[in-house]
Amino acid sequence: MRIIIDGDATPREVRKICEQESKKRKIKLVLVCSFDHEISEEYEIIKVSKGNDAADYKIVEIFEKGDLLITQDYGLASLILNKSTAVINPSGYLYTKKNIDNLLHTRYIGQKIRKGGGKTKGPSKRKKEDDEVFKNTLRKILDDNDI
Protein backbone atom coordinates (compact mmCIF):
# COMPACT_ATOMS: atom_id res chain seq x y z
CA MET A 1 0.00 0.00 0.00
CA ARG A 2 1.05 3.54 -0.77
CA ILE A 3 -0.52 6.87 0.07
CA ILE A 4 -0.79 8.87 -3.15
CA ILE A 5 -1.56 12.58 -2.94
CA ASP A 6 -3.07 14.64 -5.74
CA GLY A 7 -0.72 17.53 -4.99
CA ASP A 8 -2.26 20.17 -7.24
CA ALA A 9 -5.04 20.87 -4.75
CA THR A 10 -4.01 19.36 -1.44
CA PRO A 11 -3.17 21.79 1.36
CA ARG A 12 0.28 21.71 2.93
CA GLU A 13 -1.20 20.75 6.32
CA VAL A 14 -2.74 17.62 4.81
CA ARG A 15 0.54 16.70 3.12
CA LYS A 16 2.30 17.03 6.49
CA ILE A 17 -0.26 14.77 8.20
CA CYS A 18 0.22 12.16 5.45
CA GLU A 19 3.98 12.45 5.82
CA GLN A 20 3.81 11.90 9.59
CA GLU A 21 1.51 8.89 9.30
CA SER A 22 3.48 7.33 6.45
CA LYS A 23 6.76 7.64 8.38
CA LYS A 24 5.23 6.24 11.56
CA ARG A 25 3.74 3.25 9.72
CA LYS A 26 6.54 2.83 7.15
CA ILE A 27 4.21 3.37 4.18
CA LYS A 28 5.48 4.82 0.92
CA LEU A 29 4.17 8.33 0.22
CA VAL A 30 3.93 9.67 -3.34
CA LEU A 31 2.88 13.18 -4.35
CA VAL A 32 1.87 13.90 -7.95
CA CYS A 33 1.75 17.55 -9.03
CA SER A 34 2.42 19.84 -11.96
CA PHE A 35 5.74 21.60 -12.49
CA ASP A 36 4.00 24.82 -11.33
CA HIS A 37 4.32 23.74 -7.71
CA GLU A 38 7.55 24.30 -5.81
CA ILE A 39 7.40 21.35 -3.44
CA SER A 40 10.48 19.90 -1.84
CA GLU A 41 9.86 17.15 0.65
CA GLU A 42 11.47 13.92 1.84
CA TYR A 43 9.05 11.63 0.00
CA GLU A 44 8.68 10.78 -3.69
CA ILE A 45 7.40 13.61 -5.86
CA ILE A 46 6.30 13.00 -9.44
CA LYS A 47 6.07 16.19 -11.48
CA VAL A 48 3.95 16.36 -14.63
CA SER A 49 3.27 18.99 -17.27
CA LYS A 50 0.76 21.65 -16.35
CA GLY A 51 -1.85 20.52 -18.88
CA ASN A 52 -5.43 19.95 -17.84
CA ASP A 53 -5.72 16.86 -15.68
CA ALA A 54 -2.07 15.82 -16.28
CA ALA A 55 -1.63 14.96 -12.59
CA ASP A 56 -4.89 12.98 -12.64
CA TYR A 57 -3.79 10.93 -15.65
CA LYS A 58 -0.46 10.18 -13.98
CA ILE A 59 -2.19 9.08 -10.78
CA VAL A 60 -4.46 6.73 -12.73
CA GLU A 61 -1.37 5.35 -14.50
CA ILE A 62 0.66 4.64 -11.34
CA PHE A 63 -2.19 3.69 -8.98
CA GLU A 64 -2.13 0.08 -7.80
CA LYS A 65 -4.81 -2.01 -6.15
CA GLY A 66 -4.83 -1.28 -2.42
CA ASP A 67 -3.26 2.18 -2.61
CA LEU A 68 -4.91 5.06 -0.77
CA LEU A 69 -5.64 8.37 -2.57
CA ILE A 70 -5.95 11.90 -1.19
CA THR A 71 -7.79 14.21 -3.63
CA GLN A 72 -10.49 16.86 -3.90
CA ASP A 73 -11.29 15.78 -7.46
CA TYR A 74 -14.58 13.82 -7.68
CA GLY A 75 -13.80 12.65 -11.20
CA LEU A 76 -10.42 11.24 -10.21
CA ALA A 77 -11.96 9.69 -7.09
CA SER A 78 -14.56 7.91 -9.24
CA LEU A 79 -11.86 6.44 -11.51
CA ILE A 80 -9.78 5.12 -8.60
CA LEU A 81 -12.46 4.06 -6.15
CA ASN A 82 -12.81 0.42 -7.27
CA LYS A 83 -9.16 -0.44 -6.78
CA SER A 84 -8.33 1.70 -3.75
CA THR A 85 -8.23 0.97 -0.06
CA ALA A 86 -9.88 4.39 0.33
CA VAL A 87 -10.16 7.79 -1.33
CA ILE A 88 -10.17 10.71 1.11
CA ASN A 89 -10.90 14.38 0.54
CA PRO A 90 -8.42 16.73 2.32
CA SER A 91 -11.28 17.79 4.60
CA GLY A 92 -11.57 14.20 5.83
CA TYR A 93 -14.63 13.30 3.77
CA LEU A 94 -14.49 9.71 2.54
CA TYR A 95 -15.53 9.04 -1.06
CA THR A 96 -17.51 5.80 -1.36
CA LYS A 97 -19.35 3.84 -4.02
CA LYS A 98 -22.57 5.03 -2.35
CA ASN A 99 -21.86 8.78 -2.54
CA ILE A 100 -19.72 9.23 -5.66
CA ASP A 101 -22.59 9.27 -8.18
CA ASN A 102 -24.39 11.99 -6.25
CA LEU A 103 -21.17 14.04 -5.98
CA LEU A 104 -20.54 13.74 -9.72
CA HIS A 105 -24.14 14.72 -10.48
CA THR A 106 -23.91 17.76 -8.21
CA ARG A 107 -20.67 18.78 -9.94
CA TYR A 108 -22.35 18.41 -13.35
CA ILE A 109 -25.29 20.61 -12.29
CA GLY A 110 -22.86 23.26 -10.99
CA GLN A 111 -20.95 23.22 -14.29
CA LYS A 112 -24.21 23.69 -16.22
CA ILE A 113 -25.17 26.65 -14.03
CA ARG A 114 -21.76 28.28 -14.50
CA LYS A 115 -21.76 27.70 -18.27
CA GLY A 116 -25.15 29.39 -18.38
CA GLY A 117 -23.69 32.47 -16.69
CA GLY A 118 -24.86 31.64 -13.19
CA LYS A 119 -22.81 31.50 -10.03
CA THR A 120 -22.36 28.67 -7.59
CA LYS A 121 -20.95 28.69 -4.09
CA GLY A 122 -17.33 27.61 -3.85
CA PRO A 123 -15.81 25.51 -1.10
CA SER A 124 -15.77 27.00 2.38
CA LYS A 125 -12.53 28.30 3.83
CA ARG A 126 -10.35 25.61 5.38
CA LYS A 127 -10.43 25.49 9.18
CA LYS A 128 -8.06 23.96 11.72
CA GLU A 129 -10.80 21.45 12.58
CA ASP A 130 -10.57 20.12 9.01
CA ASP A 131 -7.01 18.98 9.74
CA GLU A 132 -8.19 17.00 12.76
CA VAL A 133 -11.06 15.41 10.87
CA PHE A 134 -8.68 14.46 8.04
CA LYS A 135 -6.11 13.05 10.48
CA ASN A 136 -8.76 10.97 12.26
CA THR A 137 -10.17 9.63 8.98
CA LEU A 138 -6.71 8.72 7.67
CA ARG A 139 -5.74 7.00 10.92
CA LYS A 140 -9.00 5.04 11.01
CA ILE A 141 -8.45 3.78 7.44
CA LEU A 142 -4.84 2.82 8.23
CA ASP A 143 -5.80 1.20 11.55
CA ASP A 144 -8.67 -0.75 9.94
CA ASN A 145 -6.19 -2.12 7.40
CA ASP A 146 -3.60 -2.98 10.10
CA ILE A 147 -0.99 -0.65 8.69
Domain ranges of the chain: 2-144
User: What confidence score (pLDDT) does residue 37 get?
Assistant: 54
Rg (the chain; Cα; Å): 15
Average pLDDT of the segment spanning 139-147: 85
pLDDT in tens, 102-139: 777 877 777 777 888 888 777 778 888 999 999 999 99
User: Topology of 2-144 in CATH?
Assistant: Rossmann fold (3.40.50)
Q: Of 86, 25, 80, 27, whose CA–CA distance to 57 is shortest? A: 80
